[in-house]
Structure 1
Amino acid sequence: MNAWNPPPPADPLPTPNASQQFHNMHAHWLDSDRRFLVLFDFDETIINESSDDAVVRALPNQRLPDWLRNSFREGRYNEHMQKVLAYMGEQGVTEASIQAVVEEIPPTPGLLYLLEYLHSQQQDFELVVVSDANMYFIETWLEHAGVRHLFRKIFTNPASFDGSGRLVLLPFHSHSCSGCPENMCKQVIFREYLSGRQKELGGVPFQRVFYIGDGANDICPSLALGPRDTAFPRRDFPMHRLLQSQAGKFKANVVPWVSGEEIVGCLKKVIEQR
């Protein structure tokens, strides 16, 4: 897991003036547009392990050679996984083998229950994945679990099989955040998505944002959450420990979780308050 160095404080997210917001709420939210945004990490949040670690089980001896494992450099994990997938291709690992391993990864406890609940309240909740895994792993797992259709958007590193049958991974974007891996800053993604959706909804922001994660790279987007929003760090994982040690930096409510059922309990209270 990459170490996290806090970036500079984020500027406030844009908010429309009161009269414009009132007009737009009548124009949009009363037409059943979703009022709450839920952002999910993938590895060790939706699924109960790292998909990058799991996929190694598709190798004939189910482990990487020491020279490859030791080639990792801090902040350059995407580059390291490019080498891992290239090595797997050289070892003759097929798409079918990778697919089978990914589909077998278990969900995190209670996460399918959480998704079932959010589906039952789909008029209120918009779901998005923001992950430093890759598109092939995420879509393969979500499709197999029968929940891909619940997510409006997936932000992750591109990955697809080339003509030789090798899974080729690319970086998601470049950015200037000094605290995040060079291939992805989740706060940049989050803020751009909020801004774009607000424009699409005629200037109306989401009433609340919920961020569910576990890792050090889930701290940076949490800095952009406001006092009405909630960060859900997986208990005793890096995100939780960092939030505890730097609590004064964050405006959002913080609700640690072990099971998705705990998150459902919190979201139900929000629905009841409307």
Structure 2
Amino acid sequence: MWLSRCAGASLAADKGEGNVLVVWDFDWSLVNENSDTFVLRELAPALTDEMKQLQAERPAIFGKGKWTALMDHLLTKLGEEHMVSRRQIEHCLEGIPVFVEVVQVVRELAGRGCEQRILSDANSVFIDEVLRAACLQRHFSAVATNLGEWEPYAREDHDDHETHNDDILRVAPYQPRDRPHGCPRCPENLCKGAVLDQWRAELRPRRVVYVGDGSGDFCPCLRLRASDTVCARSGFPLAKKLEAMKDDAKVLDARVAYWEDGAELARALRAAAN
């Protein structure tokens, strides 16, 4: 289980209970991409085709709900078979698309005393690298995600037949396999709703604002209260689920704000965090 407390975190984390807690999903929310598929597509496009093939042919291992295992497998192949170095991956992540308005509003919310945390099904290495490149690390007090670790790897160069030392990225699930979370809505590696409950109990915020887009963000949204807000990205799975149940007041208590781009998200966050 990996949960980082970012070095040099914003002073908002130390102001005690009663703050606004802003919880960010990462892929397609904080960044304007899926970081996993972005790295594969940019550095070894053939692996994106292999990814689809593995999902279809080996569903018990790499199918629905098995994304972390699939990425661990493909990232290992990225280094071992496609000879992609650690520095190439880090450099690729430095160029991942991010809305400029999102960068601005993260800094603005931190300045207003909001507690900001990331809750993501990506991995710690990818998130840390993107935050570092965007100079946003100090604005997030915690990150809950799958554990990414660099493992030493000796690679033989086929041209000079010499051995070169590098690192291969491995990914392990946030939720320990021997301690399942038991939530039927969530993939086995992470129940975002359970993490949100832990953070609410820890911080006792007066309001929660949740930024998300995917199916995995549905569970935490169901745990929000009438004083809270969901910022759901239009056209993505979370928005579709919320729209389908918008008339059922018994299911969802929180207000919903839909957004399509960075400017709309920034406006929604400013309003929700007041």
1:94 and 2:64 are equivalent in the alignment: no
1:237-261 superposed Cα distances (whole Å, 9 cap, x missing partner): 1111110002222100000012343
Quick one: which of 47, 50, 54 aligns to 1:71?
54
Displacement after TM superposition at 1:108 (Å): 3.4
1:195-214 pair list within 5 angstroms? 195-197=201-203, 205-214=204-213
Unaligned runs of 5+ in 1: 1-28, 198-204
Q: Distance in 2 between matches of 1:253 and 1:108?
A: 24
TM-score under structure 1 normalisation? 0.79
**Structure 1 residue aligned with 2:137:** 148
Q: Structure 1's 95 and 35: CA in aligned 2 closer, same or farther, altered over 3 A?
A: same
Is the CA contact (8 Å cut-off) linking 2:228 and 2:254 kept in structure 1?
yes
- What amino acid is aligned across from residue 263 of structure 2 in structure 1? E
1:53 and 2:37 are equivalent in the alignment: yes
Q: Distance in 2 between matches of 1:230 and 1:65?
A: 35
Aligned-residue RMSD, C-alpha:
2.0
**Structure 1 residue aligned with 2:6:** none
**Structure 2 residue aligned with 1:238:** 237
Is the CA contact (8 Å cut-off) linking 1:109 and 1:258 kept in structure 2?
no
Q: Percent identity?
A: 30
1:82-231 pair list within 5 angstroms? 82-90=72-80, 91-108=82-99, 110-121=101-112, 123=113, 125-164=114-153, 165-173=167-175, 174-197=180-203, 205-231=204-230
Displacement after TM superposition at 1:262 (Å): 3.0
Q: Distance in 1 between matches of 2:220 and 2:273?
A: 24
Quick one: which of 28, 38, 52 aligns to 2:22?
38
**Structure 2 residue aligned with 1:23:** none
Q: Structure 1's 251 and 99: CA in aligned 2 closer, same or farther, altered over 3 A?
A: same
Q: Distance in 2 between matches of 1:157 and 1:270?
A: 28
- Write 1 or 2 for the structure with the bigger share of strand: 2
Quick one: which of 251, 254, 268 aligns to 1:252?
254
Is the CA contact (8 Å cut-off) linking 1:113 and 1:261 kept in structure 2?
no
Q: Distance in 2 between matches of 1:190 and 1:215?
A: 16
Q: Distance in 2 between matches of 1:246 and 1:99?
A: 40
Q: Distance in 1 between matches of 2:273 and 2:34?
A: 32
**Structure 2 residue aligned with 1:21:** none
Unaligned runs of 5+ in 2: 1-11, 56-62, 154-166
1:191-222 superposed Cα distances (whole Å, 9 cap, x missing partner): 1122123xxxxxxx211100001111111100
